[in-house]
């Protein structure tokens, strides 16, 4: 789910990689030299994981925003020869519009640099002030996202840092450690509407349409996540019964539990994941292939395996649902 989010959030900004590429890279750094786009999307996963870890130590604050930005932009070559300034808030005027626009013709001009810090300070206070009377939490998250994007505090990467903050805010509010609800796939499906509705909130104070749009996305993405998790659970229990039928040992079943995190794996990756010797790991890989859970990726050195049934669920396009359940 985190990788699905990274892929969508980056695609909104024109940076493309697939979930498969990200998992392959995780399984074996050396197998494929990642393209600059893949590296950038991987940074998104790194930033998200970092944010989750930091939630134990920090509130959602400006420092966290800078840390997310720093990880997102690390090692990235700026487009159009600009400056990325990883982890730094901007000190110059920026604007939003098509690439040929100037500050005078831009569609939207965020606040001047000297207003960025005061605006961010207020945003930080708003995020953490949960004293009643307060708006419903999801409404607050929608407003924070709009506000963050409107301040546009970084030279680049604002869309992605703003979207990273959504699952982190939700995870923090609900006191669950793992972010479960991601919005980027929804924003990607409705990219123009996403941007237009934020624009119209600034232009005409059209809050309701922005909130309606955001909350509709929460419903869609929550039910999408539930559907995917259900199917994944079914796939895994079917894997387990296949293995039990052939009398597989506990080690092999242990590996099934790890497949969601590592649907692509090498033999050394099995070794590391469940702490077994190389011969045992090799045996487990063969077993998984034998019962049709995994297959070897042709021509891969070192040998790479993939549990395609899991990848199909992760890659499955969004399916609108008619009703609850
Ligand atoms: N009119 C607008 N008002 C507020 N935010 C906007 C507007 N237009 C675009 N955005 C936000 O700006 C983001 C793009 O900013 P950018 O700094 O290039 O981020 P990234 O590099 O992650 O793309 C969009 O994804 C959207 O969230
Ligand atoms: Mg950009």
Burial class (CB in 10 A: 0-12, 13-18, 19+), 324: exposed
pLDDT bracket for residue 292 (50, 70, 90): very high
Judged against a pLDDT cut of 80, whether residue 1 lies above it is answered with yes
Domain boundary among 155, 188, 205: 205
pLDDT value, residue 131: 80
What is the number of helices (H) and of strands (E) in the chain?
Answer: 14, 3
- Name the band, by pLDDT with cuts 50, 70 and 90, for residue 134: confident
In this prediction, residue 80 carries a pLDDT of 63
Residue 111 falls inside a structural domain: yes
Same domain, 311 and 177: no
Q: Assess if residue 212 is contained within a domain.
A: no
Using the 3D structure, point to which of 190, 205, 220 is the last residue of a domain: 205
Same domain membership, residue 165 and residue 29: yes
Query: Which domain CATH number covers 297?
Result: 1.10.10.10
| Mean pLDDT (the chain, rounded) | 93
What distance in Å separates the CA atoms of residue 211 and residue 189, rounded to the nearest whole number? 17
Co-location of 265 and 178 in the same domain = no
pLDDT band at residue 125 under the 50/70/90 scheme: very high
Instruction: Answer yes or no: do 182 and 284 share one domain.
Output: no
Average pLDDT of the segment spanning 20-27 = 93
Residue with tokens 């831009």: 106
CA of 250 to the centre of ligand 1 (A): 49
Residue 84 has a pLDDT of 76
Nearest C-alpha neighbor of 79 from the set 188, 155, 3:
155
Locate the ligand 1 atom nearest the alpha carbon of residue 160 and give its number: 22
Residue with tokens 């996540």: 225
**Residue 210: inside a domain:** no
Average pLDDT over residues 235-248: 96
pLDDT at 323 over 60: no
Shared domain check, 153 and 6: yes
pLDDT, mean of residues 143-158 = 97
Nearest ligand to the CA of 109 is 1
Residue 132 pLDDT:
76
Q: Please tell me whether residues 281 and 180 are part of one structural domain.
A: no
Q: Mean pLDDT lowest for which of 36-50, 131-145, 172-186?
A: 172-186
Answer yes or no: is 20 within a domain: yes
pLDDT band at residue 130, thresholds of 50, 70 and 90? confident
More confident residue, 99 or 53: 53
* Domain of 188, in residue numbers: 2-205
Residue 325 above 60 pLDDT? no
In a domain, 274, yes or no: yes
Q: How confident is the model at residue 31 (pLDDT cuts 50, 70, 90)?
A: low
In a domain, 50, yes or no: yes
- Residue 158 in contact with ligand 1 by CB distance below 6 A: yes
Q: Structure tokens of 154? A: 């970084």
Closest by alpha carbon to 120, among 86, 158, 156? 158
Q: What angle do CA 96, 100, 101 make, to 5 degrees?
A: 45
Helix (H) or strand (E) segment spanning residue 40: helix 36-54
Does a structural domain hold residue 307?
yes
pLDDT at 324: 56
Per-residue pLDDT band at 319 (split at 50, 70, 90) = confident
Quote the pLDDT of residue 322. Answer: 64
pLDDT at 321: 75
DSSP assignment of 183-246 equals -HHHHHHTHHHHHHHHHHHHHH--HHHHHHHHHHHHHHHHHHHHHHHHHHHHHHHHHHHHHHHT
Q: How many domains does the chain have?
A: 2
Task: Collect contacts of 194-203 with beta carbons under 8 A, ≥24 apart.
Answer: 194/12, 198/146, 198/149, 198/150, 199/107, 199/108, 201/146, 201/150, 202/108, 202/150
Please report the pLDDT score of residue 106 as a whole number.
Answer: 93
pLDDT band at 254; cut points 50, 70, 90: very high
Q: What is the pLDDT of residue 172?
A: 84
Q: How far apart are the first and last CA of the chain?
A: 20
**Both 41 and 164 in a single domain?**
yes
Atom 27 in ligand 1: residue holding the nearest Cα: 159
The reply to whether 197 and 261 lie within a common domain is no
Q: What is the mean pLDDT of residues 165-174?
A: 88
The model's confidence at residue 99, banded by pLDDT at 50, 70 and 90, is confident
For ligand 1, atom 3, the nearest C-alpha belongs to: 199
Half-sphere exposure of 23 toward its Cβ, with a 13 Å CA cutoff?
Answer: 26
List the single range of 174-178, 209-213, 267-271 with lowest mean pLDDT.
174-178
Which run of H or of E encompasses 264? strand 264-266
Question: Does the pLDDT of residue 305 top 80, yes or no?
Answer: yes
The CA-based angle 161-169-171, given to 5 degrees, is: 120
Which of these, 22, 10, 5, 311, lies nearest to 186 by C-alpha position? 5
CATH number at residue 99: 1.10.3290.10
Same structural domain, 257 and 170? no
Q: Are residues 163 and 247 in the same domain?
A: no
Measured from the CB, is residue 108 less than 6 Å from ligand 1?
yes
CA atoms within 13 A on the CB side of 261: 9
Judge if 121 and 242 occupy the same domain: no
| Boundary residue ending a domain (205, 224, 243) | 205
* 140 and 67, same domain (yes or no): yes
pLDDT of 28 strictly over 90: no
SS3 track for 265-322: EEHHHHHHHHCCCHHHHHHHHHHHHHCCCCEECCCCCCCEEECHHHHHHHHCCCCCCC
Structural domain contains residue 214: no
The pTM for the full model equals 0.93
Say yes or no: CB of residue 15 within 6 Å of ligand 1: no
Residue 96 beta carbon below 6 angstroms from any ligand 1 atom: yes
What is the whole-number distance in angstroms between the Cα of residue 257 and the centre of ligand 2?
Answer: 37
């Amino acid at each position: 789910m985190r990788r699905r989010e990274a892929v969508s959030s980056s695609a909104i900004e024109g940076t493309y990689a697939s979930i498969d590429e990200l998992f392959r890279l995780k399984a074996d750094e050396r197998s494929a030299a990642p393209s600059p786009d893949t590296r950038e999307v991987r940074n998104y996963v790194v930033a998200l994981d970092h944010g989750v870890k930091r939630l134990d130590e920090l509130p959602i604050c400006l420092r966290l925003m800078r840390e997310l930005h720093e990880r997102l932009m690390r090692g990235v070559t700026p487009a159009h020869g600009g400056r990325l300034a990883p982890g730094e808030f901007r000190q110059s005027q920026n604007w939003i519009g098509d690439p040929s626009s100037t500050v005078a013709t831009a569609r939207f001009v965020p606040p001047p640099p000297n207003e960025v810090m005061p605006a961010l300070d207020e945003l930080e206070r708003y995020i953490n002030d949960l004293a009643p009377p307060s708006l419903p939490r999801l409404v607050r998250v929608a407003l924070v996202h709009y506000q963050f994007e409107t301040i546009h505090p970084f030279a680049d990467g604002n869309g992605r840092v703003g979207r990273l903050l959504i699952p982190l805010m939700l995870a923090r509010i609900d006191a669950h450690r793992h972010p479960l609800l991601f919005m980027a796939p929804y924003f990607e499906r409705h990219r123009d509407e996403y941007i237009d509705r934020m624009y119209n909130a600034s232009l005409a104070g059209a809050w309701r349409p922005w909130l309606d749009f955001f909350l509709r996305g929460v419903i869609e993405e929550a039910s999408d996540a539930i559907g995917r998790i259900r199917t994944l659970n079914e796939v895994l229990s079917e894997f387990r019964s296949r293995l039990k039928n052939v009398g597989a040992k506990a080690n092999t079943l242990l590996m099934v539990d790890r497949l969601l995190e590592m649907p692509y794996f090498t033999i050394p990756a099995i070794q590391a994941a469940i702490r077994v010797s190389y011969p045992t790991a090799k045996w487990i890989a063969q077993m998984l292939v034998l019962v049709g859970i995994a297959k070897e990726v042709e021509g891969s050195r070192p040998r790479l395996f993939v549990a395609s049934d899991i990848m199909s669920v992760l890659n499955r396009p969004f399916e609108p649902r008619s009703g609850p359940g």
